[in-house]
Chains A and B, each alone.
Chain A
Amino acid sequence: MNYRIIRKIKNALFKFVIVLSAFMVLIPLFLIIQFVFVQGMGSLNLSFFTEIPKPVGEIGGGMKHAILGTIYTVLLGALMAVPIGITCGVYLSEFRKSKLSKTLRLTVDLMSGIPSIVIGIFAYLMVVVPLKSFSALAGGVALAIIMLPIIIKTSEEILKLVPDHIREAGLALGLPRWKIIFFIILKGSVSNLLTGIILAISRAAGETAPLLFTAFGNMYMNFNMKEPMATLPVQIYTYAISPFKDWQRQAWAGAFILMVLILAMNIFARYVLTKIKDKKGF
């Protein structure tokens, strides 16, 4: 009888610890989001979006150049990563059991584990050294390598959801396989593939480390891909570690904008992806 009570107490204690630990995880999350919201909302103003930085010491200015720079470099990276990524996704979903597929899957897993700073050094050695200048192009290359494994993985998963009988229906019509892939499978999955791309973009948009010595950053507007370009994360970093109060304020505003953008993209993509999986594609 006594033993039973001890077991019940253990059970209740365990439940208590579990609930406690769940709160321990949710509280920092809440604290971070709340802290960034409060600090960021208070620091935000219109000139943040419409102005470029004022000279050091002057109050005011904004991060227009960095916001546009982030969009520019991320799109540049996506331009490189998306075609290759989706092609690899097609290969993995069409030839699931070939030896090359297994190697490619392992490569993708290992590639997504490379620390982003190491990717930054690679992009520096590959692009910055030969061109002899920090450039948006180098930043784009670094971000492309970060996006590539995410795009490959999600597009493989999405294309695998296309049921086999659809492929077989195409084959029964006597279509060559490439037409089935392009005009049936890919065409039918375009919007689903887009969500995978959004997921990859949301990851790349927040990366700082690989941009530190590739896109580097500057204080004015630039749309030349062979020149250094400011990006939101790097700008936040420079401002955050600066001693100026006004710059720190702008770092908070920048972090707020960055976080809202990334969480919005992420939640949207995840929501759509779970919807797709529930519906089993097509």
Chain B
Amino acid sequence: MIKLNSKTQDAVLFYALRFIALLVIGLLLFIMYILLDAAWPAITSNGLAFIFKSEWNPVEDQFGALPFIFGTLVTSFIAVMLATPVSILVALFISEYLPKSISHFVSLMVEMVAAIPSIVFGLWGIFYLAPFVKGSLAPFLKSYFGYLPIFSGPSFGIGIITASLVLAVMIVPTISSICRSIFELIPQHQKEASYALGSTKFEMIKMAVISPSLSGISSAVVLGLGRALGETMAVTMLIGNSPVISKSIFSPAATMASVMANEYTDANTPLHVSSLCYLALLLFFITFLSNLFAKSIVKNFSKI
């Protein structure tokens, strides 16, 4: 039996821990490499034109990602637009208006939404939200704003708007919990200074809470966007899955994640599989960049 002195023992531990840490970093790079490798045939055959081609027809080996990129961006954009103001207001409500004892409970409630599995959101969307959109929301929007092209065409219940609504509900907890943690960083004396100048609560919030947190809020929004971009199941069940680019938000569409979920197991030709991996790679990089961007904002924010 070899006896090691405690210095050597610690060196062994140190390198073992380092090795595991490097392993995890390596795993992320490995995921990138494997996706790139699987997507390579599609990249060499289509190149960057893949992103701008709008035809997706596996039967004739035509693969263009534009409809899916369009669907992903539009649904995420609408969801973020709907969720952002509400999330900020809810964060303010919890941190500034509610007494401490209740605020804990309410913020827990809001964060519970984030824990509900997306399949449950999807199920709820199919049987509750889709009929609601078809029966109430779409006729309402049509009767008042029907002349706008984005509200044209019939609504079948499932489509861009339904998927966006569910996405919005799903990302509210993400955005609002980050906003709340940022608002709680604001020092008390800053708020009191604003009150001392004679401002009302609204003016205090505007001056002392919102404006110093703007960069933090934007990073929260970007993180919410990242979650919306990658969301799969709820969107797959609610968007209608047809690779078309339509100007109406009532029409069905497809997202990058939804087409992967739908077609990956049925893909027969190597180019089809590879094109789906190309989509996965693109989605990986889009979410990767948006998360990196959000991180860098937070980094600058914490320096102030």
A and B associate: yes
Identify the A interface with B (CB < 8 A): 7-8, 10-11, 14-15, 17-19, 21-22, 24-26, 28-29, 31-32, 35-36, 39, 84, 87-88, 90-92, 94-95, 100-101, 103-104, 106-111, 113-119, 121-122, 124-126, 145, 148, 152, 174-178, 181, 202-203, 205-209, 212-213, 216, 233, 236-237, 240-241, 248, 251-252, 255, 258-259, 262-263, 266-267, 270
Contact with A along B264-304 (1 / 0, CB 8 A): 11000000000011001001100110111001000000000
Identify the B interface with A (CB < 8 A): 6-7, 9-10, 12-13, 17-18, 20-25, 27-28, 31, 34-35, 38, 85-87, 89-90, 92-94, 97, 106, 108-113, 115-124, 126-128, 169, 172, 176, 200-203, 205, 223, 226, 229-233, 237, 257, 260-261, 264-265, 276-277, 280, 283-284, 287-288, 290-292, 295
**Is B287 in contact with A32, judged by CB distance below 8 angstroms?**
no
Query: How far is it, in angstroms, between the C-alpha of A81 and the C-alpha of B69 when the chains are bound?
Result: 32
Report A-chain residues with C-beta under 8 Å of the C-beta of B111. Answer: 270
**Is B230 in contact with A121, judged by CB distance below 8 angstroms?**
no
**Is A124 in contact with B264, judged by CB distance below 8 angstroms?**
yes
**Is A240 in contact with B126, judged by CB distance below 8 angstroms?**
yes
Query: How far is it, in angstroms, between the C-alpha of A122 and the C-alpha of B28 when the chains are bound?
Result: 11
Query: How far is it, in angstroms, between the C-alpha of A29 and the C-alpha of B250 when the chains are bound?
Result: 24
Query: How far is it, in angstroms, between the C-alpha of A232 and the C-alpha of B237 when the chains are bound?
Result: 16
Report B-chain residues with C-beta under 8 Å of the C-beta of A100. Answer: 18, 21-22
**Is B232 in contact with A116, judged by CB distance below 8 angstroms?**
yes
**Is B277 in contact with A24, judged by CB distance below 8 angstroms?**
no
Report B-chain residues with C-beta under 8 Å of the C-beta of A26. Answer: 106, 109-110
Report B-chain residues with C-beta under 8 Å of the C-beta of A18. Answer: 89-90, 92-93, 97
**Is B123 in contact with A84, judged by CB distance below 8 angstroms?**
no
**Is B9 in contact with A176, judged by CB distance below 8 angstroms?**
yes
Which residue of B is nearest A31, CB measured? B128
Q: Of B24, B122, B172, B277, which is in contact with the most chain A CB atoms at under 10 Å from its CB?
A: B24
Report A-chain residues with C-beta under 8 Å of the C-beta of B200. Answer: 7-8, 10-11
Report B-chain residues with C-beta under 8 Å of the C-beta of A270. Answer: 108, 111
Nearest-neighbour CB distance to chain B for A146, whole angstroms, equals 12
Report B-chain residues with C-beta under 8 Å of the C-beta of A95. Answer: 17
Report A-chain residues with C-beta under 8 Å of the C-beta of B261. Answer: 117, 209, 212
**Is B260 in contact with A84, judged by CB distance below 8 angstroms?**
no
**Is B295 in contact with A122, judged by CB distance below 8 angstroms?**
no
Nearest-neighbour CB distance to chain A for B183, whole angstroms, equals 13
Report B-chain residues with C-beta under 8 Å of the C-beta of A248. Answer: 127
**Is B123 in contact with A251, judged by CB distance below 8 angstroms?**
yes
Query: How far is it, in angstroms, between the C-alpha of A94 and the C-alpha of B18 when the chains are bound?
Result: 11
**Is B93 in contact with A22, judged by CB distance below 8 angstroms?**
yes
Query: How far is it, in angstroms, between the C-alpha of A181 and the C-alpha of B12 when the chains are bound?
Result: 13
Query: How far is it, in angstroms, between the C-alpha of A174 and the C-alpha of B232 when the chains are bound?
Result: 53
Query: Contact check: which of B25, B203, B233, B257 meets A103 at CB < 8 Å?
Result: B25
**Is A84 in contact with B119, judged by CB distance below 8 angstroms?**
no
Query: How far is it, in angstroms, between the C-alpha of A11 and the C-alpha of B277 when the chains are bound?
Result: 52
**Is B231 in contact with A115, judged by CB distance below 8 angstroms?**
yes
Report A-chain residues with C-beta under 8 Å of the C-beta of B233. Answer: 208-209, 233, 237
Name the 6 nearest CB pairs between A and B, nearest first: A115-B230, A206-B117, A176-B6, A21-B89, A209-B232, A113-B291
Report A-chain residues with C-beta under 8 Å of the C-beta of B284. Answer: 114-115, 118
Report A-chain residues with C-beta under 8 Å of the C-beta of B17. Answer: 87, 90-91, 94-95
Query: How far is it, in angstroms, between the C-alpha of A233 and the C-alpha of B261 when the chains are bound?
Result: 14
**Is B117 in contact with A117, judged by CB distance below 8 angstroms?**
no
Nearest-neighbour CB distance to chain B for A280, whole angstroms, equals 18
Query: How far is it, in angstroms, between the C-alpha of A14 and the C-alpha of B9 when the chains are bound?
Result: 62
Report A-chain residues with C-beta under 8 Å of the C-beta of B34. Answer: 122, 125-126
Report A-chain residues with C-beta under 8 Å of the C-beta of B18. Answer: 91, 100
A113-B226, A117-B230, A181-B13 known; A106 and B118 CB under 8 Å?
no
Report B-chain residues with C-beta under 8 Å of the C-beta of A126. Answer: 34
Q: Of B34, B119, B232, B290, which is in contact with the most chain A CB atoms at under 10 Å from its CB?
A: B119
Mind listing 18 A-B residue pairs with CB under 8 Å? A7-B203, A14-B201, A21-B86, A29-B110, A84-B20, A87-B21, A94-B17, A104-B21, A113-B287, A115-B232, A118-B280, A121-B35, A125-B38, A176-B6, A176-B7, A251-B123, A255-B119, A262-B117
Which residue of B is nearest A148, CB measured? B24
Query: Contact check: which of B21, B85, B87, B265 meets A88 at CB < 8 Å?
Result: B21
**Is B35 in contact with A118, judged by CB distance below 8 angstroms?**
yes
Report A-chain residues with C-beta under 8 Å of the C-beta of B260. Answer: 117-118, 121
Nearest-neighbour CB distance to chain B for A133, whole angstroms, equals 13
A25-B110, A90-B17 known; A145 and B201 CB under 8 Å?
no
**Is A21 in contact with B112, judged by CB distance below 8 angstroms?**
no
**Is B24 in contact with A88, judged by CB distance below 8 angstroms?**
yes
A118-B283, A258-B119 known; A266 and B112 CB under 8 Å?
yes
Report B-chain residues with C-beta under 8 Å of the C-beta of A122. Answer: 31, 34-35
Query: How far is it, in angstroms, between the C-alpha of A144 and the C-alpha of B12 when the chains are bound?
Result: 26
Nearest-neighbour CB distance to chain A for B6, whole angstroms, equals 4
Query: How far is it, in angstroms, between the C-alpha of A148 and the C-alpha of B28 when the chains are bound?
Result: 11
Report A-chain residues with C-beta under 8 Å of the C-beta of B120. Answer: 32, 36, 206, 255, 258-259
Query: How far is it, in angstroms, between the C-alpha of A34 and the C-alpha of B257 when the chains are bound?
Result: 29
Report B-chain residues with C-beta under 8 Å of the C-beta of A263. Answer: 112, 115-116
Nearest-neighbour CB distance to chain B for A282, whole angstroms, equals 22
